[in-house]
Structure 1
Amino acid sequence: NGVHWVAWFITIFSQTTLVMIAVTLILHYGNVLMHSNAFLIFLIFEIYALSSISLAFLVSVFYSKAKIAAACSGIIYLLTYVPCMYISIREDLAQDTIPRWAKMLASLLSTSAFGMGAKYIAFYENIGTGIQFDNIRYSPVEGDRFTCFETVLFMLLDTILHLLLMWYIENVYPGTYGIPKKWYFPFTVSYWTGESYVQPNWIKKLKKTRLFNWYICKKHHMSYQFNWSSASISQINSDSNRNESMMDVHWGNVPNENVLLGYFEQDEQASQQSIGVRLLNLTKIFDKKKFAVQNLSLDLYEGEILSFLGHNGAGKTTTMSILTGLIPATSGTATIYDQDINVDMDKIRKNLGWCPQHNVLFEKLTVEEHLLFFSKLKQVQSREMKKMIENLLFDIGLTAKRNAMVSTLSGGMKRKLSVAMAFVGDAKTIILDEPTAGVDPYARRAIWELLIKLKQGRTVLLSSHHMDEADVLGDRIAIISNGQLKCCGTSLFLKTTFGEGYVLTLVKNDPWLSSKDEITSMIIQCIPKAFLKEETRNELQYVLPLKSRHLFPEFFSTLDSHKESLSIKGYGLQDVSLEEVFLKVTEQFKKTPSAAAVESQLNTPVETPDLTTTSTITDTSSTTLHIQHNDRVTGTRLYAKQALAIIIKRFIFNYRNMRGLATQILLPAFFITVAMTVALTAPGFADPPPITLSTSMFSRMNSLYTPVSGLNSYKYKNISQLYSMNANPYDLAETIRYPSGLGSTCLLKSPYMNETKLTFENLTGTTCNSVYNNKYQVDSTQDINWMEMFDNHNVSINRTYELENVFNNTYYSPCTCSKIQSRFVCSSFMKPPSSDLLTNDHILNITKEENEILYYLYTIDNHHLDRYGGLSFGLVQDYIPDDYPINKDSQHLHKLAVKNTARIFTNHKGYHSLPLYINIMSNSILRANLPLEKGLPSAYGITTINHPMNETNNMLSTEFILQGSDVVISVFIIVAMSFVPASFTLFLVYERATKSKHIQYINGLYPLVYW
């Protein structure tokens, strides 16, 4: 089936690719995902399309009806999104951190994986960078270790898992049609190499024993019984010791050989022909109790047509379905040109033509396209294909309709096309299930001629309900009843064996003068075994045995000479019909009798229908169906009875349709449960807790970078410094080197400790532990010189780095504006000198006032997840005089105009970055201005805490709606409730589609009562 699935994949993937291209263009050029890489977005969409196609393939193997599969696929698709919805609610509303393993588990459902990936894309787009190849491996969410790249990998993994499950389930559980393989078939060598498994001889002998067959019966809860009618005469003759051969094939003791040979024709010429199809003890049991085919053994010869006759439900179609691989056999087997149907079905189908009982055609293809399509499936060469199609169209009389759509053909034309399709590709084995059903006599004759013309070199199995068709076409005829083969042979053999003889019909010249006794006496004198079959007022019917044919010339001469004396007006002779044989065989074998009883019944004359006079079917029972007009119910009583009948009918339908009842009750309850579960997992609305602002708030996948300018500022002295209470820029910058680092994350427990010694236990701070730099972690009892520790691990901050000119490519090459005009793009970048702090922060020395703004603009892409602010010291306001103010009494005036200032830069993509860096600058000013008597500055710090305002009900409701949870829950509830009216609509649509509603109206049902 690989070609079948690949063809479907190419078709669907081509369509989805066009859709994904359109969606990508709309999102990118519609300014929805304008920052993201368009090709990367398209690639993610294509991978999602792959996973969706594979999921559709997986779901399809569980269903055999398209409408049910379509409805259930939508439900399954919606359910696979539930894990993503749950994770989004917990992350966005409850601010929970979902562990990485939970997201990986949810990503095993491709829809959830795509949902989480789309969320990451939205985050990147909101940041302003968009999803790119260089950031897809990183999460834009603080503290999240799951990435968009992993969602893509999981979608690929899901695709592989879907395809593997589809492949395994389809082989083990093929559904209504197909032969299931063993559950361990992937571990068998024969599956991969294509070589058939040859059973050892001891297994073959075991399967032929009575003990094994007794076990099969007990396994399927059937009684252990004997059926001799399924014997294949070729099998009996193939062994010199017939009793031993029959013991191997059948159950029980061997009956009288003459009885067996009386039911099956011995044809020495046929036994020398090549056997095309051989059925060996073929058995099919449905529902563990009903034998559809029972121990059927039969040989079909090449170059012959075997007519398969039987009443409805006899097992003809089941046998053909087993031979074509549509359904598996319960036991037994069959070989088609020495290939076993249980293990070699793929090889058998290459040379198998089949015309099913009902037309299987494509309404949107023409007649010629059908033949062309199946020719390609059968690997017919292109040069031979056209000629073969022309011949088939001519033989079936559809040359004028070659370009007509199948939907425009009549039923008979469709049937002829189905027959022609069976012969496409020079198939060696042809199986035709009622090929002329619904065909007019002229078309039937064309099909007959086609079969007779093409039967040479082929083995043809034909089932039919037309006795004349079976008689004309069948080289041999097999009659099956209740799944058991009753007889097999040529038409002449069956008529001779089961027919009573020729029927002689005598027409009386005068009903009162013709003597039945005299006529009967004369006939018996000539043909002793003749007997009177039926007498009417004007006719007499006698049965003349077939074995007395040699007496016919003398008998008819005598009859002609005595016509006047016997008062016979005329006579006619009728041969035995195949219909008579069929009715007799099936009637006698309705119950399985013993062999002796069957033989005695077959030798007993059976009354046959009178084919020359009136029908023997009487109408004596019709009077009991006559209803007097006065007994009819009318008016309101009629409406009430009709309404009651309709209600009872619908109750019975619902009672027997348990799936529909489950759909009506269980599925709505299930979806409501899912919706309520999702709703209950949503966190309650409460005011957000206070947040202590520090650099530890941000992601620690990489260290946090903080550019600082003015680290090498000189210690200037001027007249203003004599009266200023502000620390100079150098002292402000030096505070960053203190153990407290940026802000107040880590502080010394005591300001009066030895300033050259530091122990880890002397540090304090609620988040100090989480950000402490492992490079400097020492034993808690070990004293270290913390100044030396920093000097050993850092580039000296005292070292001067002069940035002469930004445009001389000191840190970056010339930069240009991006195509989407949202950021600068630089071809290369060099990091400036950096220093590590105790709090695991990185300080970048970008000293040079005129270059700061350009540096931040040009390097935004390089630090979009690890830089949320910067510091600048030593800014001089040139418009303020150096000697302002000039006295100590003007301190308050000095605060209005500051000569030396500091500045902060913040990235508002990082929440709380503005108050955080104001806090960092405030801590630097505090520590630089502390008097010496206050001790170590690292023991002092300013902590900023954000207390969010209480949210109103309107804000909470809007936020929840924006999260989409209400919408998704509403969708689940709507889907759940839709099953209730749909379950009632189903029966109404079913009655209209099957036209049973119209039948009820014709029989007197009032439309108002129906509705």
Structure 2
Amino acid sequence: MTILELFTPLFLLLPLIGFRNVTTTIQDNALRSPPTAPHLVYTPNTELTSRLIEKVSDTLYIPPYEPIPDKMEHSYMRSHEIKSEEELNLLQSVDGLVVFENLDGEYLPDYLNYTIHLRNPHHLTVMTRRRDYEHLDELSESFLRVQWAIDSSFIKIKANTDEDLQNITMKELRSNVHQLALDRTLSDILFFSLIAVTFIAPIFSFTQIMLRMNEDKTTGIQEISEMAGASSLMICLSQLVNSFPPSLMMGVGSSIVCQLLDIEANPFITFTGWFLHYMTVIAFAFVLSYITKTIWYTVSISMLAYLATWFPAIIIEVGSFTIIGLILKGLLPHAPFIWFIHQIFVASELGVGIDFSTWSGEFHRFDDGSRSGSIRLSFIMQFLQIIMCFLLTFYLELVRPRKFGIQRPWHFLCQKGYWEKPQMTECDNLMKINQDPAYEKFFQQPPEPAIQAVDIVNLQKMYRTNTGATIYAVDNISARFYEGEITVIIGHNGAGKSTLISIIAGMLRQTSGNVYINGLDTLTRQVDLRRKVAICPQSNTLYPDLTVREHLMFFCMMRGDSMEKAQDYAEEVMKQLDLYSKETWTPEKMSHGMLRRLQFGCTLCGEANLLLLDEPTSGLDVEARREIWDILLTLRGHRTVIMSTHYMDEADILADRILGLHSGIIRCYATPEYLKKAIGAGFRVSITTRQLPDLHKICSVMREMSPDAELSDKILRTLVYEISPATDMECLLNKLEACRSKLDIESIGIGTVTMEEVFMK
């Protein structure tokens, strides 16, 4: 998970916080007077009014209001009449007048009656203290501050206390048409802004999940992990957990933004709504990752797939007149979230708000009058979508694997064998080595006694080309591999070596036939065989974010080793494979040779009884190859090793038995020594002369000592003869030494036939 993937939701939500300041400024300019307390005067001037005004000034933290003579009260309110100079000066210096109607006695009354007269540059507004206001939109903040101060001061004097006994919550109620239109416009802007953020924020996570899942399946790293002991469910959950942080960020950020924008909704409910929506998007990504089997154009395909998930909810009205219709439409991608966001906005505008007492209510209806699902139903449907997507992912994982993986039929859930644990199959009577009679001499009888480790019975793997032609990568072969032996598979490019190893490992499904490992069928008992088999694939399949040490420890622990044992093993292997100085390197920093060594080291992790090595020394230098040879030779007798190679000297040195493939058919299966004898290979004698050799004289001497001697090669002054193993080499060499001057011989060399020559024959 990248930093961009984690913080994208937060980056997109931040501008909406600025939107709050804009809306607040518009409302302040349109509705509110300056927040400072107005300069007022009062009448009548009595002991009770003076006492009350003193308390009001303490409440508002302002100097006490001044009284005016009773005779000027009537003049103040007649703003249209011509006033005296004294009256004009007073009128211009104050903002209003408070007239107390029942404070002229000796004691405070039980009820206070007063009138507040506020003025503006054009007219005098009379606002009387009463319970029912007909024009609440005309009340300014100044009036509400003065009214609250007078009321609370009166209560304090009456109760003989300085504590605030009156708590008032003020909410603006607007009846002005223009203001309502402005509010609705701002609400619509906020609504569609949140929709846009919700649409854009998951795109990066959606794309990354599709890309990671395609890479894991296409490169085979998921299959390698499963063979190390990780289940498909565990791998799926790891991808899901990797998506939790951005989902949490989206939920927390959206909840905070809703609170800052004064959307009346329980923070936990808003968090849950956006979190569930983000997780449904992730769940859709898991399902849609099976659209393609390659990693080409994955980003473009994922973008189009994400847009496609929104089309049903945009084109189809997601409301319904019946509960059944709501549930059916709630299965559409994003439809439950559209219910959710409509409900919280409408409930907030109505002043109801959303909490656990109102979350099952339906406050919104669509333009056609259809119902919108409640927030509780929205949560239920989103959770149901997540479960359905992951069940569908499990199904597609089995019926539509990528390049690697065993494909099951689409109806496998209906097959009895899927739900029953299969019995161990005895394959002694099933196997029959099929071979061309012309190559019968290249097959050796198995050693006695020998314990079979792997049995291949009538195995076939067929591919069809784009033109419809049929190609058999493995063509109806049977063979047996023995416990504790190193078996080397040789063959030309395209002979079927990698295909055979992948089928044995369970990474490919055969067209027909069976493979048994310790008597267990690899098709039906794959889970039981995972920790018994380890594979080193032809292409490096490593985790891009793990270091060398972490790779080795990871595969050890996946196969059941403890942390301490995994650390000890990592130390040992890094020293053996000369990787100790690179322990903190990630794969992107390493050369191909280093990656092959690391891949080989990961294969040795744990206690796997069967090691499958597909060209493990490909691309390594001579020294590194020798190091791997030494490690493999130490495993002989302890683990069963099946490996492929193009190096004939490697096969000659390591192999207990060599299996030769040609176009998917087994052409030889025997020990190296047996194969050399089978082709009649004996010795090779090379003769180099000082001048151009006399071919007739040298051939006469060679045939005199070995009638079967054949000239196999001639290079300038060097002649190479192949001699049968029955030849007396001591006599031959003595004869050549005696004729050295006669034949003008400069040097004589002798050697045995190599596996490369056997392979060519």
User: Which TM class, normalised by the smaller chain length?
Assistant: 0.5 to 0.7
CA pair 169-420 structure 1, distance change in 2 beyond 3 A: same
Distance between the aligned counterparts of 2:659 and 2:342, measured in 1? 69
Q: Does structure 2 conserve the Cα–Cα contact (< 8 Å) formed by 1:190 and 1:197?
A: no
SS of residue in 2 equivalent to 1:371? helix
- Alignment of 1:136 with 2:313, yes or no, is no
Distance between the aligned counterparts of 2:254 and 2:360, measured in 1? 24
Distance between the aligned counterparts of 2:651 and 2:299, measured in 1? 43
Cα RMSD after superposing both structures: 2.7
Partner of 1:173: 400
> Which amino acid is the alignment partner of residue 353 of structure 1?
A
Shift of 1:158: 1.5
> Which amino acid is the alignment partner of residue 130 of structure 1?
G
Match of 2:522 among 341, 359, 366: 341
Instruction: Give the alignment's TM-score, normalised by structure 2.
Output: 0.64
Partner of 1:693: none
Matches within 5 A, 1:134-533: 134-141=357-364, 144-148=370-374, 149-188=376-415, 191-192=418-419, 195-197=421-423, 250=434, 261-268=440-447, 271-287=448-464, 289-498=470-679, 500-511=681-692, 515-533=694-712
CA pair 158-518 structure 1, distance change in 2 beyond 3 A: same
Distance between the aligned counterparts of 2:343 and 2:270, measured in 1? 12
Distance between the aligned counterparts of 2:433 and 2:479, measured in 1? 12
Q: Does structure 1 conserve the Cα–Cα contact (< 8 Å) formed by 2:342 and 2:364?
A: no
Distance between the aligned counterparts of 1:122 and 1:538, measured in 2? 97
Partner of 1:22: 253
Matches within 5 A, 1:922-933: none
Partner of 2:244: 13
Q: What are the Cα deviations for residues 549-603 of structure 1, in whole angstroms up to 9, with x where unaligned?
A: 4x2222222332233344433322232121111122xxxxxxxxxxxxxxxxxxx
Distance between the aligned counterparts of 1:72 and 1:99, measured in 2? 36
- Alignment of 1:50 with 2:229, yes or no, is no
Matches within 5 A, 1:507-656: 507-511=688-692, 515-535=694-714, 538-546=717-725, 548-549=726-727, 551-584=728-761
> Which amino acid is the alignment partner of residue 123 of structure 1?
V
Distance between the aligned counterparts of 2:695 and 2:279, measured in 1? 87
Q: Does structure 2 conserve the Cα–Cα contact (< 8 Å) formed by 1:480 and 1:486?
A: yes
Q: What are the Cα deviations for residues 697-754 of structure 1, in whole angstroms up to 9, with x where unaligned?
A: xxxxxxxxxxxxxxxxxxxxxxxxxxxxxxxxxxxxxxxxxxxxxxxxxxxxxxxxxx
Match of 2:341 among 118, 121, 142: 118
SS of residue in 2 equivalent to 1:110? coil
Partner of 1:907: none
SS of residue in 2 equivalent to 1:479? strand
CA pair 184-155 structure 1, distance change in 2 beyond 3 A: same
Distance between the aligned counterparts of 2:608 and 2:309, measured in 1? 46
SS of residue in 2 equivalent to 1:160? helix
Q: Does structure 2 conserve the Cα–Cα contact (< 8 Å) formed by 1:80 and 1:112?
A: no
SS of residue in 1 equivalent to 2:243? helix
> Which amino acid is the alignment partner of residue 475 of structure 1?
D
Shift of 1:122: 1.7
CA pair 10-523 structure 1, distance change in 2 beyond 3 A: same
Q: Does structure 1 conserve the Cα–Cα contact (< 8 Å) formed by 2:309 and 2:333?
A: yes
Q: What are the Cα deviations for residues 136-166 of structure 1, in whole angstroms up to 9, with x where unaligned?
A: 2221146644432323222122122212211
Shift of 1:459: 1.0
Matches within 5 A, 1:59-138: 59-66=288-295, 68-87=297-316, 101-138=324-361
Q: Which runs of 5+ in 1 are unaligned?
A: 92-96, 205-237, 240-244, 585-1011
Distance between the aligned counterparts of 1:255 and 1:158, measured in 2? 57
Distance between the aligned counterparts of 2:621 and 2:631, measured in 1? 15
Q: How many residues align?
A: 522
> Which amino acid is the alignment partner of residue 522 of structure 1?
V
Q: Does structure 2 conserve the Cα–Cα contact (< 8 Å) formed by 1:81 and 1:115?
A: no
CA pair 156-541 structure 1, distance change in 2 beyond 3 A: closer
Identity of aligned residues (%): 28
Q: Which runs of 5+ in 2 are unaligned?
A: 1-231
Distance between the aligned counterparts of 1:538 and 1:71, measured in 2? 64
Q: Does structure 1 conserve the Cα–Cα contact (< 8 Å) formed by 2:456 and 2:479?
A: yes
Q: What are the Cα deviations for residues 393-436 of structure 1, in whole angstroms up to 9, with x where unaligned?
A: 12111122222333222221111100000000121111111111
Shift of 1:536: 5.7
> Which amino acid is the alignment partner of residue 82 of structure 1?
F
Q: What are the Cα deviations for residues 814-873 of structure 1, in whole angstroms up to 9, with x where unaligned?
A: xxxxxxxxxxxxxxxxxxxxxxxxxxxxxxxxxxxxxxxxxxxxxxxxxxxxxxxxxxxx
CA pair 492-40 structure 1, distance change in 2 beyond 3 A: same
CA pair 449-70 structure 1, distance change in 2 beyond 3 A: same
Distance between the aligned counterparts of 1:75 and 1:377, measured in 2? 37
Distance between the aligned counterparts of 1:86 and 1:541, measured in 2? 82
Q: Does structure 2 conserve the Cα–Cα contact (< 8 Å) formed by 1:48 and 1:110?
A: no
Q: Does structure 1 conserve the Cα–Cα contact (< 8 Å) formed by 2:459 and 2:510?
A: yes
Shift of 1:71: 3.1
CA pair 440-111 structure 1, distance change in 2 beyond 3 A: same
CA pair 115-569 structure 1, distance change in 2 beyond 3 A: same
Matches within 5 A, 1:902-917: none
> Which amino acid is the alignment partner of residue 8 of structure 1?
Q
CA pair 566-146 structure 1, distance change in 2 beyond 3 A: closer
Distance between the aligned counterparts of 2:483 and 2:303, measured in 1? 50
Distance between the aligned counterparts of 2:608 and 2:327, measured in 1? 52
The structure with more radius of gyration = 1
CA pair 503-29 structure 1, distance change in 2 beyond 3 A: same
Matches within 5 A, 1:771-850: none
Distance between the aligned counterparts of 1:558 and 1:395, measured in 2? 49
Shift of 1:187: 4.0
Shift of 1:66: 4.8
> Which amino acid is the alignment partner of residue 498 of structure 2?
T
Shift of 1:102: 4.6
CA pair 260-83 structure 1, distance change in 2 beyond 3 A: closer
Distance between the aligned counterparts of 2:577 and 2:423, measured in 1? 41
Shift of 1:190: 5.2
